């Protein structure tokens, strides 16, 4: 048995959970926060038989596409504490996926 841990953008999470559920995969959804943009992420836990791991990863790749968004950065200008927001383009979306072995699984 394997545990697939997928960290995805909040905008992708609902569609991904729906798609995984329709394919009969059990999913546990956890709210999380990204470190770079401090934006909302979702961490999904999917327990799956070893031979179905590829299908779960395929679904994640299909739903969680990388895209560009505009956000603002506020660098400090000079020695004062004045901040001037500057729009920057950042890449969001996609997924970070971990697959780990599960020694034991029980559902009680």
pLDDT in tens, 43-95: 999 999 999 999 999 999 999 988 777 777 666 555 656 667 777 777 777 89
Q: How far apart are CA 97 and CA 8, in angstroms?
A: 9
Q: Give all strands of the β-sheet with 28-33 in edge-to-edge order.
A: 28-33, 40-48, 2-9, 95-101
Q: Which fold has domain 2-66+93-101?
A: Alpha-Beta Plaits (3.30.70)
The phi and psi torsions of 76 (rounded to 5 degrees) equal -80, 130
In the chain, where are the structural domains located?
Answer: 2-66+93-101
Q: Share the mean pLDDT of the chain.
A: 85
Answer whether 20's CB lies under 8 Å from 59's CB.
yes
Higher pLDDT, 101 or 73: 101
Give the model's pLDDT for residue 35: 59
Q: How many CA atoms lie within 13 A of 66 on its CB side?
A: 5
pLDDT of residue 102 exceeding 60: yes
Residue with tokens 């798609």: 19
pLDDT of residue 36 exceeding 70: no
What predicted TM-score, i.e. pTM, was given to this entire model? 0.77
Higher pLDDT, 80 or 29: 29
Instruction: Give the percent of the chain with pLDDT over 90.
Output: 56
- Quick one: which H or E segment has residue 86? strand 86-93
Nearest in space to 69 (alpha carbons), one of 87, 85, 84: 87
């Amino acid at each position: 048995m394997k545990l697939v841990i997928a960290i995805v953008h909040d905008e992708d999470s609902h569609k991904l959970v729906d798609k995984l559920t329709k394919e009969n995969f059990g999913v546990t959804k956890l709210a999380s926060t990204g470190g770079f943009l401090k934006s909302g992420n979702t961490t999904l836990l999917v327990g799956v038989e070893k031979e179905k791991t590829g299908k779960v990863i395929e679904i994640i790749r299909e739903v969680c596409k990388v895209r560009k968004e505009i956000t603002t950065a506020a660098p400090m200008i000079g020695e004062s504490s004045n901040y001037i927001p500057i729009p920057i383009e950042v890449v969001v979306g996609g997924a970070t996926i971990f697959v780990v072995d599960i020694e034991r699984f029980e559902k009680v």
